[in-house]
Structure 1
Amino acid sequence: MSKGKEIEGEEEREDMCGNDSEVRSKKRLLARDSGASICIYANSSSGGEPQDADYSVASLSDELEALILARVPRSEYWKFSFVSRRFLSLVKSGEVYKIRRAVGFKEASVFMLAIGEKSWWAFDRQFRCCRKLPILPSDFCFSTGDKESVCAGTHLIVSGKEIDGVVIWRFELASNKWFKGPFMVNPRCLFASATCGTSAFVAGGIGMESEERVLSSAEKYDPETKSWELLPMMHQRRKLCSGCYMDNKFYVIGGMDENGNGLTCGEAFDEQENTWKLIPEMLKDAPVTTSQSPPLVAVANNELYSLEASSNELKVYLKRSNSWKILGPAPVRADFNKGWGIAFKSLGDELLVMGASSVACAGRGMAVYTCCPHPQADELQWRALDCGTSQLSHFIWNCSVMVA
């Protein structure tokens, strides 16, 4: 890659850590705590005294040490293996991510797979740092077929079909490895999904276990137990639908029924009440049609936005009137392939869109834009991110955002 920082998939480096007597040189770890930079030095135990500006790791309690490490940007975690075995253990065990959640220090990362790529890519929120994930060890059928992806905590879940049937692969951020499973209670494809904190929801789709049929079932994934839990049935069977999480509810929007008819209704699952509420005519102006992608939807600041595939316009959902307001054009060609190949995602208080740029001179490479939308804004201010990935295809196969 010509620009940006590329960090290749990191292998285990325990053999490079050694014990204290083997660590001859000082290794610095930068952390940010309350806006200040903290420099920690791991000194050898060969008798040398710390210098005036040095702070020995041995003088810090394990608890304080872990709190500092939890505030280090995740893009720097691969360097921990060069510092000490304890630092490496905090990352590989996943303990550092639990501490991050406890202190409210979280970062968004974008995981994406472009057409023609063998490996997934992981980007930081500003697309300044990126790295390739280890190659997913699936068969050819899975690699070249349609897939769905969603993040839950520090797990990236990728669902697809291998020669032997539907399968799920999960990438665990802590260990930097792919694992197979766990299978859903009702294996499916072309389903809606959404991330809620450390959990993920899926609903609808086409069942693949015994016979292909449109489903109304829903499930929730727990990364702590690595298991799926069945939820109550939706009111409507639907495939090619989309999902999002808003107002503490899991929304399933649009899609097609078992007869191939486009659906304009939506549904919202309230986990506290354990019930689904049907929302008639939620997509009355833009039902899914044959060969079109599922609705392109994302949530920012608890507001629902939609990228219209036929017009490339961004819309915001007005909850009180159950209607949509046009906010203006988006800087990508969502109409290029009827919505397919476009990534439209929530990125905290921003919206993220990736795909073919609508600017004529942008070329064929992947274009990345973000904006901070507001329902009452007169004009959207899109910001182009120079991520140095012009060699990646503008057709995005899969994309998910992980917050950890």
Structure 2
Amino acid sequence: MFEDQSCVISRPLTKSCEKESGWVYMTYKLLDISNGKQQEASSRHDEQGGDSAKKRRKSLKASDQGGDGRDSDTTSLIHPIGWDNSINCLLRCSRSDYGAIASLNKGFRSLIRGGELYKLRRLNKIVEHWIYFSCNVLEWEAYDPYRGRWMTLPRMPPNECFMCSDKESLAVGTELLVFGKEVTSHIVLRYSILTNSWSAGVKMNSPRCLFGSASLAEKAILAGGTDAHGTILDSAELYNSETQTWVTLPNMNRPRKMCSGVFMDEKFYVIGGMASNTEVLTCGEEYDLDKGVWKIIPNMSSGLNGASGAPPLVAVVNNELYAATYADMMLRKYDKKNKSWITLGSLPERPVSMNGWGLAFRACGEQLIVIGGPRATGGGMIELNAWIPKDGPPEWNMIASKHCGSFVYNCAVMGC
């Protein structure tokens, strides 16, 4: 509809400190559109779209006149272009700007804090991926690779037992979930980007730790792990962040802990792990969400983890599965046809780990990200290295660094 599509953000900004934000530029362009141009565009839509275009225009007209009951202050948002076009433009703003936009009036604030914009972004397949990680107990940092911005999250609520226990993290929808233990039970803490605050999360039907997990839009699957008594589980659950509910799924074929999970080709995979304190599993399992069944995949995690090491470091970009093998610091790609792993090249040299612990390997949109700290004395530095998979060996670029500790305890990527 707009002549130069100035409101669409489809790439990272070239500078992290541009004086004029994308939102200000977009607003300037939109307010420059005259009512005459808007009417002309609507007429063209009527000619091309028939009844649907007329209904859209009627809806906009009703919105502009407050016919739907909205306050006059919030009816049009960006008044010259109407409610629907305002929403369409807000969807394409960087979510880095949503905090500032929410302060404009109660209409913007309600849209953003209520989560409606994020639901519409998901329906329109508009996604920005931010990286969340913790290098200090109870403290989390976030990095926006599109704007090159660092953000510090509010400190997690203090809990002595929780601080000392193993923790898993998962980003799903607009939430960051952190799973841990109290004295005799498991707890879940939930951070919401809508309120920028922590609260108690909803417990699983079968609470667990040391599980494999992955998210897809507003849903996530957690599989395996151990219960409060240390029993290794074969059960799995699905979480819906919009309803904040857990649904028990069919059991896997094998109980496993210290495993990893990914979504690929619209199916969930649990990879590797331990069947006991000494038995390393080399098989993976595939869960078909439509059929509700698990299938064993032999040798899917062969060589990816050891008995004393971290769970397999795996990530999916463009429905291709990659693994960072911490034993030899190499990057591998899974050959789906031959069900085998192909070595692509080396991981970044500087980040170090202890048998995989302290190192994070994630997919961030179209990039693979390695997060870790170099071996150094005094203080601590974390580095984010990225590579967009293509033909040839990986060429890692350090996209960000920060003084905040050099050991990554937990890490998650939120796409919304």
Please confirm whether the aligned pair reaches a TM-score higher than 0.5, indicating the same fold: yes
Look up the match of 1:249. 267
The answer for unaligned runs of 5 or more in structure 1 is 6-26, 41-54
Match for 1:128: what amino acid? G
Higher helix residue share: 2
Look up the match of 1:23. none
Is the contact made by 2:352 and 2:359 (CA closer than 8 Å) also made in structure 1?
A: no
- Cα shift readout 1:87-128 (whole Å, capped 9, x = no counterpart): 1111111111122123322111111111x3542112113461
Look up the match of 2:336. 319
Look up the match of 2:157. 137
Choose from 372, 376, 383 the match for 2:388: 372
Is the contact made by 2:188 and 2:203 (CA closer than 8 Å) also made in structure 1?
A: yes
Q: Which has the higher contact order (CA 8 A, sep 6+)?
A: 1
Choose from 94, 97, 101 the match for 1:76: 97
Match for 2:280: what amino acid? G
Alignment of 1:172-321 (within 5 A): 172-208=192-228, 211-258=229-276, 260-284=278-302, 286=303, 288-321=305-338
Is the contact made by 2:351 and 2:374 (CA closer than 8 Å) also made in structure 1?
A: no
Look up the match of 1:168. 188
Q: 1:357 to 1:65 in 2, by over 3 A?
A: same
Choose from 124, 128, 135 the match for 1:107: 128
Pairwise CA distance, 1:39: 5.8
**What SS class does the counterpart of residue 206 from structure 2 fall into?**
coil
Between 1:164-173 and 1:213-222, the stretch displaced more is 164-173
Look up the match of 1:402. 414
Is the contact made by 1:311 and 1:335 (CA closer than 8 Å) also made in structure 2?
A: no
**What SS class does the counterpart of residue 206 from structure 1 fall into?**
coil
Q: 1:397 to 1:332 in 2, by over 3 A?
A: farther
TM-score, L = length of structure 1: 0.82
**What SS class does the counterpart of residue 171 from structure 2 fall into?**
strand
Match for 1:385: what amino acid? I
**What SS class does the counterpart of residue 355 from structure 2 fall into?**
coil
| Distance (Å, rounded) in 1 between the aligned partners of 2:179 and 2:131 | 17
- Cα shift readout 1:9-36 (whole Å, capped 9, x = no counterpart): xxxxxxxxxxxxxxxxxx9943659xx9
- Cα shift readout 1:263-284 (whole Å, capped 9, x = no counterpart): 1000000001110010112223
May I ask how many residue pairs the two structures share in their alignment?
Answer: 356
Choose from 380, 388, 400 the match for 1:386: 400
| Distance (Å, rounded) in 1 between the aligned partners of 2:288 and 2:361 | 24
Match for 2:141: what amino acid? W
Q: 1:395 to 1:128 in 2, by over 3 A?
A: same
Q: 1:287 to 1:330 in 2, by over 3 A?
A: closer
- Cα shift readout 1:200-258 (whole Å, capped 9, x = no counterpart): 110000112xx320000011100111011111100001000111111111101111103
- Cα shift readout 1:253-309 (whole Å, capped 9, x = no counterpart): 11110353001000000001110010112223x153232000100111111111011
Q: 1:168 to 1:118 in 2, by over 3 A?
A: closer
Look up the match of 2:50. none
| Distance (Å, rounded) in 2 between the aligned partners of 1:264 and 1:127 | 40
Look up the match of 1:24. none
**What SS class does the counterpart of residue 188 from structure 1 fall into?**
coil
Q: 1:354 to 1:83 in 2, by over 3 A?
A: same
Look up the match of 2:10. none
The answer for unaligned runs of 5 or more in structure 2 is 1-14, 33-75
Choose from 145, 148, 161 the match for 1:128: 148
Match for 1:142: what amino acid? F
Pairwise CA distance, 1:367: 1.2
**What SS class does the counterpart of residue 100 from structure 2 fall into?**
helix
